Structure 1
């Protein structure tokens, strides 16, 4: 399991000031933690770490020497500034089921000779005990034909008795549609609707 180091954060220092100093702020919460633990991370270290982990990943969080089996619960990105504003973790309890998301990874899309692959779900919500958490679900789309649809209930994770899927079982994960090369006709503009205004 990947380990991420964090420092406790003093709430006297504003998040904005910490960001200017090269930190990302965050919180650790959980059933056995009173309130939450405010933490901070070195920005560059965290960005490097998130190249191999993401929302829904189970990690080992080291807060100044105290180890937490934790789940990356939420990552707040600021697209305008191109940075992570905040990251939240849930400290896990081995006997308690936790809500999480699993990332959908499509495989073998290069084998599709015709049609357009449309991915409708990038993550699936579920709950499970910490020992049964899943990081990603791989979907082989190499044998799909035009008109084929893969739904949540078609995935192996749906059959796993240790996991309770929270996403609609009939929700489409990925579909292979016919390619439409013809130009799509432009919808009629509002101008035609605005013409009968001469009576005013």
Structure 2
């Protein structure tokens, strides 16, 4: 575990106090106990965001120092401001290190697909994260999927992901598509359909007229 953070207890609650904390470079947070009790805390914004920057996912085990005591907790939830993207609240959760938990792990394609490199296709990344069950100490930062062998028309699904099943259980249907390689024409048609769905009937009509 390389994620460490010094946090402080906080007594004051409410939105006005939370805003003042953020102006002072602190982020309000809560450490939830296994029994449901909640301990309000504050943590340094810059240090926390730097920690996130060096991890692919936002769910990880963190070693926190609180009131002189060090403990391992799960970073369970990070709330961001919808406009600025800044972190505005953090939830930590006490977990038993010998009990499996469910976490969300990012999925990242690696390599250059053969269908893209030599056939002019387009890689379609469909699934960006997966729910995985594992012990807290085994939490993955990300799941890498090697796409280098994929040709045009090839599809990689959840069942094709290589993972240590003795440690990890993927909580998703094995037939869900993770990534595929589309022919350029099919990719353009797919993008056009998605644009039409979001644009409404008028744009669809204009597209048909243009096609004629």
Shorter-chain TM range is 0.7 to 0.9
- Counterpart of 1:131 in structure 2 is 137
5+ residue gaps, structure 1, are 193-200
53, 61, 83: which one aligns with 1:51 = 53
Partner of 1:22: 25
- Partners of 1:74 and 1:90 in 2: how far apart? 9
Question: Aligned-residue CA RMSD in angstroms?
Answer: 2.7
SS of 1:93's partner is coil
Q: Residue 156 of structure 1: SS of its match in structure 2?
A: coil
What CA distance in whole angstroms lies between the structure 1 residues aligned with 2:98 and 2:204? 63
1:121 aligned residue (118, 127, 143): 127
Check the 8 A contact 1:22/1:42 in 2, yes or no: yes
CA distance, structure 2, for counterparts of residue 90 and residue 156 of structure 1:
29
> What is aligned with 1:170?
175
Given that residues 5 and 64 in structure 1 are in contact (C-alpha distance below 8 angstroms), is that contact kept between their aligned partners in structure 2?
Answer: no
The Cα of 1:124 is off from its aligned counterpart by: 0.6
> 2:159 is paired with a residue of what secondary structure?
helix
Any idea what the Cα deviations from partners look like across 1:119-149, whole Å, max 9, x if unmatched?
1111110222223322211111122111111
- Contact (CA 8 Å) 1:58, 1:135: kept in 2 or not? no
Cα distance in 2 between the residues matched to 1:9 and 1:47: 20
TM-score normalized with structure 2 length: 0.78
What TM-score does the superposition give when structure 1 sets the normalisation length? 0.82
The DSSP-based 3-state class of the residue aligned with 1:4 is strand
Number of the residue aligned with 2:110: 107
Alignment correspondent of 1:3: 4
Aligned position for 1:141: 147
SS in structure 1 of the partner of residue 174 of structure 2: coil
Aligned to 1:93: 96
Q: Is structure 2 residue 70 aligned with structure 1 residue 67?
A: yes
Task: Please give the alpha-carbon distance, in whole angstroms, between the structure 1 residues aligned to 2:26 and 2:156.
Answer: 41
Q: Any gaps of 5 or more consecutive residues in structure 2?
A: 206-212
Secondary structure of 1:88's partner? strand
Aligned partner of 2:38 in structure 1 is 36
